[in-house]
Structure 1
Amino acid sequence: MARIDQTPFEAEITALTHDGRGVARRPDGKAVFVAGALPGERVMASQTRRHRSFDEARTVEVLQAAPERVAPRCEHFGVCSGCALQHFDGTGQILAKQRVLMDNLERIGHVTPERVLAPLTDAAWGYRRKGRLSVRRVEKKGKTLVGFRETDPRFVADIAACHTVIPQIGERIGALAALVDSLQARSDIPQIEFIAGDPIPGADGDAHSGIALTFRHMTPLSDADQAAIVAFAQAHDFAVFLQPGGVDSVHPLWPVEPKLRFSLPQWDLEFAFRPLDFIQVNAGLNGKMIASALELLDAQPHDRVLDLFAGLGNFTLPLARSVREVVGVEGEAGLVQRARDNAMRNGIANAQFHAADLAKDLSEESWMREGFDRLLLDPPRSGADFVLTQLPLKQFKRIVYVSCHPASLARDAGYLVNQRGWKLRAAGVMDMFPHTAHVESIAMFEPRQA
């Protein structure tokens, strides 16, 4: 491999990549992606990697700053990969994400929305209620690191706190690292997952935090290690689970029967969940997202609604409050059962849930042969292209598509508009992950004749 020339060079930043790096051009036209640089800036950069069609670099000095540049709150910014945009003010971040969405729709889907929705935003700090912390014992440093991966994913960032994670967890990362470092199994714990619901009233009259930690461990934990973890959990008001194997191996360590709940007060709903279940990471934004989706769907009291990739029923159960019937379909059987339990918990009788792999042939599924009026879907990053090709789309008056990956939304929007005769009436972004380059978006489609 040829040696990389790390001599600093001047770069004019013209755009932002999908992962939050500035875009510049070499004199020969080759693209350079510059970490820590913003559109409109002139920087000195140093090359870090070379590829055939583009180079990578990092900012070493800002010669001319963009008006949107701000001082990052976190001292680990630029090393920890948890955030890529802390140097960009909030307005600049969400407008950049909006440009990413519109560019993807035009470039990949060859579609343009008739209306661009106002961005949805909520709290920018202390919002992250679900995540995975990496753990690594570093003998050269004589310590155990707990945190997110560095920009070089081979390493774990040496952090004591995180400002985007809910404070109950984010302010205790250093304490969590000290706990793991004190364990006999400190070299055999690769990760700790955290998840937070609402505080739970206790029998003692006090509310318990509703926050759970799940320790993945590669070898059995000694009685002393388990006692240390329980003492930490009791001191910080956490429930704690152990995971010695796959997802099915997760079991509570303390208390004996932990309760995890989150509520959606606008719809008078409470959801029970398990520590590794998927829930939206930003509670405040989640409520706004559901309200926006329901408004765009415009379901009427007599409608039957199909909700695909339904999970725990995050959209299904709010929909059930205002329509004749809603059918939720989800690939993971455990989530389907918990969605059914949540419907029963909330006294909802007009919601059905089915387990089905939405990336496979669905022709034998009974719900596929039922009539529906409207469709809501919230697929994973891979999108919903296969299931859309199987659905009898003519039955729907509207489709609302919630997306966590703008490229897959753009691809599927192109299919709906250019091959199936739909119109993209509206699209916009939602800041589910402030200070990261992650783009969450929502789109509404209607049949062209409508």
Structure 2
Amino acid sequence: MANLFKPSKTNTVVRPKDANKTLQITGIDHLARGISNDEKGIYFVQGALPDETVEANVQQHKGNVHHAQVTHIIQPSEARRQPFCAHYAECGGCETQHCDSEDLLRFKQQAIGQLILHTGIQANEPVVIKKAKLGARRNIKPKARTIASLQKELPWQPPLNSVDRHYRHKTRLAIDARNPHDIHLGFRTRGSSDVFNLTQCPILVPELQALIAPLHTLVNSISQPLRIGHITLVKSNNKTLVSIRLVKALSKEDQLAITDFAQQQNVAVEIQTQTGHHNVGEEDSLLTYSPIDSIELQFQPDDFVQVNAKVNQQMVAQAIDWLALDKDDKVLDLFCGIGNFSVPIAQHCAQVIGIEGVSKMVQRATKNAQNNGLPHCQFRHSDLTDPAWIRTLANEKVTKVLLDPSREGAKEAIKLLPSLNPSHILYVSCNPSTFARDAAILLEQNFRIDKIGLMDMFPQTAHTELMALFVPSNTKSS
């Protein structure tokens, strides 16, 4: 989740005379907000596009930084489109449907490029540089340089994308049953925790969208709907699953209603409680997906998996290509999850070592490697924010590294990677801000960005993922 600006109590009062502004939008930022400047400062305008003139409501400000919401489009951009979803105005999900998909990717690339090139290392924060021998290190106080001073331009590659509709294979529905005569089942409204009643969701795959109306019927038929916390929907290779999270056990009548729903809709149903889970009419709820055609991975409904199967397959294939794997490579996969990258990569090299901080993910990844006949793909449980993990690799002679951290990034791990002397470091990021910070650390340690590309895992949203390949500065471009 993005770290949004939080106003303080002392200097964010918006004066009535400043509340409405006519603004010229000159670009967007990495969160897909329009940018405008005037004598009072900079404005981040939700819902605005480059080259537009808009009327906006300034909702909060701190110093010369203002946050606003479009109220009227005076002069629209050529990239502006009519949103295709009936819930666009209220839903907090696909907030950029007002922009053409290709134009949006172009705008995002420009914004993220500027973010990366102008992110510097904090002058008062020492970077830990490892010498060739593990365990020996020295602290260097970095110069106050930006990435732009270390690498003049970014070697952008074509983005990975998919269709902007019917791509999402997994989602979670919230429920508000406080009023039994007006039960809401759907998503959170934009800028609020309120739940609106979902009638359609064009980004869901058809199998999941078809369950929306029957689920409304189900929750309205249950005598104790307040006992339902949320409902997760998953379409996998082997089944369509509805996972119902309960805060308290349901009556026998309500359990029968869920059994009838499963039979009528021909779906698997899992009931989750605080003490565990059980399946309605099935032995287990293991699901499967394929990161590449020759590999199948198992996962549980609450495991992290990518929701856009097409982009995930492109992403894994691109990772294998950019790493330029050969039969002698020993690859380290940090934040490896259930093996989304590790297991496919293991088909192309001598060994893969996956490290993950969640123990149940390590167990699942180990099983996935075994199921696919890849015993040289091994997994370890370790806290990657603790430098101790690097010592376990002292004798491994790792040649290449892949990391796919959460939105918090991988600052502590990044500081240690050069000590392994890898020829390739492939960074998969779901947060351009933390990527820019971590990239600055690598560039200060004599690496450069050899390739970088966007991955549109969530079309028509402000969210953007990217992949970047770092190689030693003295290495020729590939």
Is this a same-fold pair by TM over 0.5? yes
Q: Where does residue 446 of structure 1 map in the other structure? A: 471
Indicate conservation of the 8 Å contact 1:430/1:441, yes or no: yes
Shift of 1:4: 5.9
> 1-side partners of 2:447 and 2:399: how far apart?
15
> Which residue pairs with 2:454 in the alignment?
429
Deviations 1:90-128 (A, max 9, x none): 111111221232122112253245511111111211111
**SS of alignment partner, residue 115 of structure 1:** coil
Do 1:161 and 1:172's aligned partners in 2 also have CA atoms closer than 8 Å? Answer: no
| Cα drift, residue 379 of structure 1 | 0.8
Moved more, 299-308 or 186-195: 186-195
| Residue 251 of structure 2, aligned match among 222, 227, 246 | 222
User: By how many angstroms is 1:44 displaced?
Assistant: 2.3
Residue 23 of structure 1 and its aligned partner are, at CA, apart by 2.3
Match of 2:381 in 1: 355
- Residue 175 of structure 2 is aligned to residue 135 of structure 1: yes
Distance in 2, Cα, partners of 1:114 & 1:406: 14
Which range is displaced more, 436-445 or 257-266?
257-266
1:295-374 correspondence to structure 2 within 5 Å: 295-363=321-389, 366-374=392-400
Deviation of the 1:355 alpha carbon? 1.0
Aligned to 1:16: 28
Tell me the distance in 2 between the aligned counterparts of 1:215 and 1:397.
46
> Any residues of structure 2 matched to 1:48-447 within 5 Å, and which?
48-109=59-120, 110-111=146-147, 112=151, 114-137=154-177, 139=179, 142-198=181-237, 200=238, 210-245=239-274, 249-266=276-293, 268-363=294-389, 366-418=392-444, 420-447=445-472
What whole-Å deviation, never above 9, does each CA across 1:26-81 have from its counterpart, x for those lacking one?
x5423333332211111222344454443333323222110111110012213111
Q: Which deviates the most, 104-113 or 407-416?
A: 104-113
Supply the distance in 1 between the matched residues of 2:116 and 2:205 (Cα, whole angstroms). Answer: 33
Instruction: Measure, in 2, the Cα distance between the counterparts of 1:312 and 1:434.
Output: 24
SS in 2 for 1:234: helix
Q: CA contact under 8 A between 2:292 and 2:317: conserved in structure 1?
A: no
Cα distance in 2, alignment partners of residues 53 and 184 from structure 1: 53
**Counterpart AA for 1:13:** I
In structure 2, the residue matched to 1:206 is none
Aligned to 1:205: none
Cα distance in 2 for residues equivalent to 1:250 and 1:405: 32
Relative to the length of structure 2, the TM-score reads 0.85
Q: For the Cα contact (< 8 Å) 1:368–1:391, is it kept in 2?
A: no
- For residues 397-446 of structure 1, the C-alpha deviation after alignment (integer angstroms, 9 at most, x for no partner) is 1111111111111111100111x111111111010000111110000011
Structure 1 unaligned residues grouped into runs of 5+ = 201-209
| 3-state DSSP of counterpart to 1:99 | helix
Give, in whole Å, the separation in 2 of the partners of 1:448 and 1:16.
Answer: 31
Indicate conservation of the 8 Å contact 2:88/2:94, yes or no: yes
What code does the residue aligned with 2:202 have?
A: H
How far residue 8 of structure 1 moved from its aligned partner, in angstroms, is 4.7
In 2, are the aligned partners of 1:218 and 1:244 still within 8 Å (CA)?
Answer: yes
Unaligned runs of 5+ in 2: 1-8, 121-145
Alpha-carbon contact 2:233-2:243 (below 8 Å) kept: yes
Whether contact under 8 Å (2:415, 2:442) holds in the other structure is no
Normalised TM-score (structure 1): 0.90
The 3-state SS of whatever aligns with 1:10 is strand
Question: Contact (CA 8 Å) 2:430, 2:464: kept in 1 or not?
Answer: yes
SS at structure 2 position matched to 1:321: helix
Residues 257-311 of structure 1 deviation map (CA, whole Å, 9 limit, x = unaligned): 2341112443x11111111011111100011001111111112111111111111
Matched AA of 1:12: Q
Report Cα offsets for 1:324-380 as digits up to 9, x if no partner: 111111111111111111111111122111111111232575345421110111111
Distance 1:232 1:4, change over 3 A: farther
Question: For residues 96 and 372 of structure 1, do their structure 2 counterparts lie closer, same or farther at Cα, with a shift above 3 Å needed?
Answer: same
